[in-house]
Chains A and B, each alone.
Chain A
Amino acid sequence: MLAYTIYLSFAGALLLAVLPKRWHAAARVIALLVALCGLAVALAGFISAGTQGPVAVADLPWIPAMGIHYTLEADGISRVLVLLTGLAAVAGILFSWNIGDKADDRANEFFAFFLALIGGVYGVFLSVDLFLLFVFYEIAIVPKYFLIAIWGSTRREYGAMKLALYSFAGSAMVLIGLLTAYAVAGGQTGNYSMNLHTLAQYHFSTSFQMWAFPLVFTGFAILAGMWPFHTWAPTGHVAAPTAASMLLAGVVMKLGAYGCLRVAMTVFPHGLDPWGFSFLGIDSWRTVFGLFAVIGIVYGATVALVQNDFKFVIGYSSVSHMGLVLLGLLTLTQIGIDGAVLQMFSHGILAGLLFATVGRIVYERTHTRDLALLNKLQLSKAMPFAAWLFVIAGMASMGLPGFSGFVAEVQVLIGAWEAFPWFAAIAGLGIVIGVAYTWRAMQRVFFSDHPAVTADGSPVPIPEYEPVTWAEKAGVILLAGTSLLIGVYPRLLLDVIAPAVQALPHALLTGGHQ
Chain B
Amino acid sequence: MIAFASNPVNYSNLFAITLPETILEVVSLLALIVDLAWLRRSSQAVRMAWACALGVLGCAASAAWLAAHPSVPALDGNILVATPLVAAAQIGILVLSALVLVLSFKAEFSRNPGEFSAIVLLATTGMLLVAAARDLQVIFVALELLSLSLYVLTAFAKRSAQSAEAALKYYLFGGMSAAIMLFGFSYLYGLTGTTSLEGIAASLAAQPLSPLLIVAFVLVSAGLGFKVAAVPFHLWAPDTYQGAPAPVTALIASGSKVASFAVLVALTSAIIPPDAPLHAASWAVLLLWMAAGSIILGNLAALVQTSVRRLLAYSAIAHAGYMLLGIAANTPQSGAAVLYYALTYALTTVGVFGIIGIVERSAGTDRMDAFAGLSRRNPLLAATMFLFLLSLAGIPPLVGFWAKFNLFAAVLRAGSLGMSGLILVAAAVAASAVSLYYYLQVMKRMYVFKPVRLEPMPVSFVELATLALIALAVLALGIFPAALSNWIPLG
Contacts and interface: CB of A to CB of B under 8 A. Distances in A.
Interface string A160-171: 010011001101
Contact of B430 (A66, A150, A169, A180): A169
Interface string B478-491: 00111001100000
Contacts of A172: 429-430, 432-433
Contact of A63 (B395, B396, B412, B485): B485
Interface string B397-415: 1000100011011001101
Contacts of B476: none
Contacts of A164: 436, 440
B437 A176 contact: no
A179 B409 contact: yes
A470 interface: no
A149 B383 CA distance: 17
Given A142-B395, A179-B408, A182-B409, A168 B448 contact: no
B289 interface: no
A168 B443 CA distance: 16
B412 A179 contact: yes
B482 A63 contact: yes
Interface stretch (A23-31, A76-84, A133-141): A133-141
Given A164-B436, A172-B433, A182-B412, A149 B396 contact: no
A511 interface: no
A139 B479 CA distance: 12
B425 interface: yes
Nearest to B394: A138
Given A149-B444, A192-B413, A138 B482 contact: no
A187 B422 CA distance: 15
B432 A180 contact: no
A138 B395 contact: yes
Contact of A176 (B413, B426, B482, B485): B426
A97 interface: no
Contact of B415 (A149, A179, A187): A187
Interface in B106-158: none
A227 B291 CA distance: 34
A interface secondary structure, majority:
helix
Most buried by A among B415, B440, B444: B440
Most buried by A among B409, B415, B425, B444: B409
B409 A176 contact: no
Contacts of B390: 142
Contacts of B65: none
Contacts of A64: 482
A510 B425 CA distance: 35
Given A165-B437, A169-B430, A139 B412 contact: no
A426 interface: no
Given A62-B482, A63-B485, A135 B401 contact: yes
A139 B395 contact: yes
Contact of A134 (B396, B415, B480, B485): B396
Given A180-B412, A183-B409, A165 B482 contact: no
A274 interface: no
Contacts of B426: 176
Contacts of B425: 176, 179
Contacts of A187: 413, 415
Interface in B457-491: 480-482, 485-486
A183 B406 CA distance: 11
Contacts of A161: 437, 440
Given A142-B390, A146-B448, A192-B413, A171 B440 contact: no
Most buried by B among A62, A139, A168: A168
Interface string A106-126: 000100000000000000000
Contact of B401 (A138, A145, A165): A138
A157 interface: yes
B189 interface: no
Nearest to A215: B426
Given A168-B433, A171-B433, A176-B425, A135 B396 contact: yes
B482 A146 contact: no
Nearest to B380: A18
Nearest to A136: B396
A175 B429 contact: yes
A146 B486 CA distance: 35
A146 B445 CA distance: 11
A65 interface: yes
B283 interface: no
A262 B386 CA distance: 32
Contact of B413 (A142, A157, A169, A186): A186
A131 interface: yes
B481 A63 contact: yes
Contacts of B436: 164-165, 168
B173 interface: no
B183 interface: no
Contact of B397 (A139, A180, A183): A139
Given A63-B482, A172-B430, A176-B426, A183 B415 contact: yes
Nearest to A138: B396
B409 A146 contact: no
A176 B421 CA distance: 12
Contacts of B415: 183, 187
A489 B90 CA distance: 66
Nearest to B406: A66
Nearest to A175: B429
B422 A150 contact: no
Nearest to B436: A168
Nearest to A20: B379
Nearest to A10: B397
A401 B100 CA distance: 67
A141 B395 contact: yes
A139 B443 CA distance: 16
Contacts of B408: 175, 179
Nearest to A165: B437
Contacts of B481: 63
A183 B395 contact: no
B448 A157 contact: yes
Contacts of A136: 396
A276 B413 CA distance: 31
Contacts of B444: 149, 157
Interface in A249-273: none
B416 to A, nearest CB: 12
Interface string A211-253: 0000000000000000000000000000000000000000000
B440 A145 contact: yes
Contacts of A157: 444, 448
Contacts of B422: 180
A183 B407 CA distance: 12
Given A63-B481, A157-B444, A172-B429, A139 B396 contact: yes
Contacts of A141: 395
B475 to A, nearest CB: 11
Interface in B78-119: none
7 contacts: A62-B480, A109-B447, A131-B405, A142-B395, A172-B429, A176-B426, A183-B412
Given A165-B436, A180-B422, 14 more contacts: A65-B485, A135-B396, A135-B397, A139-B395, A145-B440, A149-B448, A161-B437, A179-B408, A179-B409, A179-B425, A180-B412, A182-B409, A187-B415, A192-B413
Interface of A: 17, 62-66, 109, 131, 134-136, 138-139, 141-142, 145-146, 149-150, 157, 161, 164-165, 168-169, 171-172, 175-176, 179-180, 182-183, 186-187, 192
Those 9 A-B pairs whose CB atoms lie nearest each other, nearest first = A183-B412, A135-B396, A172-B433, A168-B433, A149-B448, A172-B429, A176-B426, A138-B396, A169-B433
